Amino acid sequence: MTENLPRIAVVGRPNVGKSTLFNRLAGKPLAIVDDRPGVTRDRREARGRLGELELMLIDTAGYDDAEREGLEAEMRAQTEMAIEEADLCLFMVDARSGLTPLDQTFADLMRKSGTPVILLANKAEGKAGESGLLESYSLGLGEPIGLSAAHGDGMGDLYQAVVEALGRPKRRRKKDEAEEEPPLRIAVIGRPNAGKSTLINTLIGEDRLITGPEAGITRDAISVDWVWDGRRVRLHDTAGLRKRGKVKDRLERMSAADTLRAVKFAEVVLLLVDAEHPLEKQDLHLADMAYKEGRAVALAISKFDLVKNRTAYLKEIKLEFERLLPQMTGAPLLPISTVKKKGLEDIMPALTKLHADWDAKIKTRDLNDWLQEMVERHPPPSVAGRRIRPRYLTQTKGRPPTFVLMCSRGYALPESYKRYLINGIREAFEMPGIPIRLIVKSGKNPYADRKNPDARTKRT
């Protein structure tokens, strides 16, 4: 399990390349990287590798020692928690710009924390970084390692330093890795300032994510590991998505792309909408986007404590949701209040059931018995005077449930009849709101060669 991996926190003042090193060690561009300082806000965790070492990496916000309140204070608190929880810190300075008073302040913090630290002088490639590399000795944290997080220089020296600091961790046996149950991956999405980070903090019972009244605080899609009722869960907090036409800033576009990536890798999506402004066009767009990705979607209605006539409100919302998104009829609607902590106990049972339906496998015999009843009740229409005959239905995979229908002249089967079958599968096999994919194929005509001897000759 990831709990057995050494936890390595990448720390330093803003804009020294922490996220770049984090991405390199993680082997993929997980953290958003931009030239502007202060891009990273929440601390992000991911598994990574340095040589043969498997690590749990923690990317942190740039540390600022100024006496501030609000967002900057929360960012600083998140960094301090990461240092406290880490087995080893990689303290980065910028070899090209040289040391600053903030670097010295950070070095004092590292000494007081008692956490082992390795000093890294980033951007040390070439002559431009030589003076900064030598200057970093004055921090009193041992010999600095010159590297380039962007180009990969100095990774060998970093590997040796990490091995000396932690030793060589014992690799887990493959049998143990196979027996480890993968976590249930849930992406929480919504418009900006919908309360996604606050909801996750309340569910897990700690201030893991930065929250505040201003919109757009979350930038990266941050994954948070949690255990609910003995089951491993990975919650993905995402940046709020605005209408595409309103997104002009490059950083916001990168945040939006990170959110879409989180949805693609999730299994269940929880869409958070505001009870005072529910089912706006952007909410419907997000729900449809997750559905088209093949993800099971649940709708959480936040600030429900502000609603007066709750029974009538829920009935109206349900009817409106199913009218605007008929393909998602039956998706769970969860009225909640994060402030009052009402309805939160219903979220995980609903999402686990949704996940079980999304991962369901149906026996072929049951499918074909059902198909026969459906065809007898409502046969496919004739096309050009010839009837389409469904012959065989089987499920080829789950996640989402995917079915293949074999029938004569399958290319002519109308979309309306496909919807009839998909809705029938949902109702008969109790899979409300689950995205279902139906692939129609035509069986080979055994008399085709007799009717066209020339074609038979060509194949032989």
What are the tens digits of pLDDT across the range 188-198?
A: 999 988 889 99
| 413 HSE (CA, 13 A, CB side) | 24
The answer to whether 190 and 262 have CB atoms below 8 angstroms apart is no
pLDDT score at 323: 93
pLDDT in the model for residue 78: 86
Low-confidence winner among 28-37, 201-210, 251-260, 270-279 (lowest mean pLDDT):
28-37
Predicted confidence band of residue 409 (pLDDT cuts 50, 70, 90): confident
Instruction: State residue 458's pLDDT score.
Output: 38
Q: Is the dihedral of CA 159, 160, 161, 164 positive or negative?
A: positive
DSSP 443: P
Whole-angstrom distance, CA of residue 325 vs CA of residue 209:
32
Please report the pLDDT score of residue 434 as a whole number.
Answer: 93
Identify the pLDDT of residue 79: 87
Residue at 239: amino acid letter: A
Dihedral sign from CA coordinates of 69, 203, 303, 357: positive
**For residue 128, is pLDDT > 50?**
yes
The one-letter code for the residue type at 94 is D
Q: What value does the mean pLDDT take over residues 334-346?
A: 94
Q: How confident is the model at residue 459 (pLDDT cuts 50, 70, 90)?
A: very low
Band (pLDDT 50/70/90 cuts) for residue 455 is very low
Q: What is the mean pLDDT of residues 51-74?
A: 77
Residue with more model confidence, 286 or 252: 286
Higher per-residue pLDDT: 448 or 391: 391
Which residues lie closer than 8 Å to 260 by C-beta, 6 or more apart? Answer: 289
- Quick one: DSSP state of residue 172? P
Three-point CA angle 371, 287, 242, nearest 5°: 160
Give the integer Cα–Cα distance in Å for 293 and 240. Answer: 18
Quote the pLDDT of residue 215: 61
pLDDT of 230 > 90? The answer is: yes
For residues 237 and 221, the answer to whether their CB atoms sit within 8 Å is yes
- pLDDT at residue 460, rounded to an integer: 29
Tell me 342's DSSP state.
B
Give the integer Cα–Cα distance in Å for 408 and 2.
51
Does 444 or 187 have the greater pLDDT score? 187
Question: Which residue's entry shows tokens 């605007």?
Answer: 324
Which two tokens mark 303?
């600030």
Question: Mean pLDDT over residues 214-243, rounded?
Answer: 82
Residues 5 and 54: beta-carbon distance below 8 Å: yes
Question: With left for phi above 0 and alpha for psi between -120 and 50, is residue 437 left, alpha or beta?
Answer: beta
**Mean pLDDT over the full length of the chain:** 85
Please enumerate in sequence order all residues whose Cβ is within 8 A of that of 422, keeping only pairs 6 or more positions apart, or say none: 436, 438
The token pair at 46 is 């991911």
Question: In degrees, to the nearest 5, what angle opens at C-alpha 139 toward C-alphas 62 and 18?
Answer: 25
Q: What is the pLDDT of residues 342-384, one digit of tens each?
A: 999 999 999 999 999 999 999 999 999 999 999 999 999 888 7
Q: Give the CA-trace dihedral at 395, 400, 405, 410, to 10 degrees.
A: -160
* Per-residue pLDDT, 66: 57
Q: Tell me: the pLDDT tens digits for 245-269?
A: 566 566 667 777 788 888 988 999 9
Tell the residue number behind the tokens 């390199």, with chain if given.
Answer: 24
Q: In this predicted structure, what is the pLDDT of residue 178?
A: 45
CA distance linking residue 161 with residue 145, whole number of Å: 9
pLDDT tier at 219, thresholds 50, 70, 90: low
- Residue 35, pLDDT score: 53
Instruction: Please compute the mean of the pLDDT values over residues 45-69 and round it to a whole number.
Output: 80
Predicted pLDDT at 251: 64
- As to burial, measured by CB atoms within 10 angstroms (0-12 exposed, 13-18 middle, 19+ buried), residue 250 is exposed
| pTM, full prediction | 0.76
